[in-house]
Structure 1
Amino acid sequence: MFIRTEKSIKEFIQFYPVVATLVIIHLALWLIIDFLHLPIGIRFYQWGAGNNLYIHEGEYWRLLSSILLHHGFMHAIFNSFALVLFGPALEQILGKGKFILAYFVAGFAGNIATYLIDPTAFYSYVGASGAIYGLFGIYVYMIVFRKDLIDQASSQVVLIIFVIGLIMTFLRPNINIYAHIFGFIGGFAIARLLLTNNVYPFSPTRNRRRTGTVQFDPNRWNKRRRLPRGLGTKVFWIIFGILVILGLLSRIL
Structure 2
Amino acid sequence: MFFIRTESFKEYLRFYPVISTIAVIHIIIFLLVNISTELRDLLSGWNFAIIYFDQYWRLISSIFVHVEPTHLLFNTFSLILFGPALEAMLGRFKFILAYLGAGIIANFATLFLASLATANIGASGAIFGLFGIYLYLLFMKPELIDSNSRQIIIIIVIVGLFLTFRPNINIFGHIFGLIGGLALGPILFARYKGKTRI
- State if a TM-score over 0.5 links the two structures: yes
Residue pair 2:102, 2:125 contacting (<8 A) in 1 also: yes
2:10 equivalent to 1:10: yes
Q: Deviation per CA, 1:41-93: give whole Å up to 9, x if none.
A: x3322111011111111111111110000121000010000001110000000
Higher Rg: 1
> Distance in 2 between the 1:33 and 1:194 partners?
33
TM-score (norm 2): 0.94
Q: Deviation per CA, 1:132-190: give whole Å up to 9, x if none.
A: 000000000000000111111111111101101101101x2100000000011111101
Residue of 81, 101, 111 corresponding to 1:115: 111
> Distance in 2 between the 1:130 and 1:103 partners?
9
Residue pair 1:148, 1:201 contacting (<8 A) in 2 also: no
Give me the CA root mean square deviation: 1.3
TM-score (norm 1): 0.74
Map of 1:132 onto structure 2: 127
2:92 equivalent to 1:91: no
> Distance in 1 between the 2:67 and 2:167 partners?
14
Query: SS of the counterpart of 1:65?
Result: helix
Query: SS of the counterpart of 1:3?
Result: coil
Residue of 147, 160, 164 corresponding to 1:165: 160
Residue of 183, 191, 206 corresponding to 2:177: 183
Q: For structure 1, which runs of at least 5 residues remain unmatched after alignment?
A: 204-253
Query: SS of the counterpart of 2:66?
Result: coil
> Distance in 1 between the 2:197 and 2:96 partners?
17
Map of 1:27 onto structure 2: 27
Moved over 4 A (4+): none
> Distance in 2 between the 1:139 and 1:197 partners?
14
Map of 1:55 onto structure 2: 50
Query: SS of the counterpart of 2:168?
Result: coil
- Percent identical pairs in the alignment equals 46
- State the AA in 2 paired with 1:192: P
| Structure 1, 120-129 or 99-108: larger mean CA deviation | 120-129
2:51 equivalent to 1:65: no
Query: SS of the counterpart of 2:67?
Result: coil
- State the AA in 1 paired with 2:3: F
Query: SS of the counterpart of 2:24?
Result: helix
Q: For structure 2, which runs of at least 5 residues remain unmatched after alignment?
A: none
> Distance in 2 between the 1:68 and 1:197 partners?
29
- State the AA in 1 paired with 2:24: I
- State the AA in 1 paired with 2:65: L
